[in-house]
Structure 1
Amino acid sequence: MNPIGLNEEQLRKMKCDPGFIAALDQSGGSTPKALAQYGIQEGAWSSEEEMLKLVHEMRTRMITSPSFTGERLLGAILFENTMDKEIEGQATADYLWNVKRIVPFLKVDQGLAAENDGVQVMKPMPGLGALLERAKAKHVFGTKMRSLIKQANAVGIEAVVSQQFEVAGQILAAGLMPIVEPEVDIHCPEKGKAEELLKAAILGQLELLPAGQMVMLKLTLPEQDDFYADFVKHPKVLRVVALSGGYSRDEANDRLRRNHGVIASFSRALAEGLSAQQSDAEFDAVIGESIESIFEASNT
Structure 2
Amino acid sequence: MESRLIRLSERVEWEQALAETPHVFGHTWGSCHALSLDGSGEPVLYVADGEGVRVACPLLERQIEGRLDVATPYGFSGLTGTGPWPGFTEGWRHFAAERGYVAGYLAVNALFGDDTYADPVTVTVANETFVIDLRDGVAGAWERLSTNRRRQLRDWSPEDYDVDGEGLADFFVAQYPQVMERKVAASRHRFGPATLAALCELPSTFLVGTRVDGRIESVSLFGFTPYAGDFIFNAALPGCAHHSVPLIWTALQILVERDVPWFNLGGGMSRGDSLADFKARFGAAPLPMRAVKAVYDQAAYEDLCRRHGADPADRDGFFPAYRNV
Q: If the length of structure 2 is used for normalisation, what is the TM-score?
A: 0.32
Q: By percentage of residues, which structure has more strand?
A: 2
Q: By percentage of residues, which structure has more helix?
A: 1
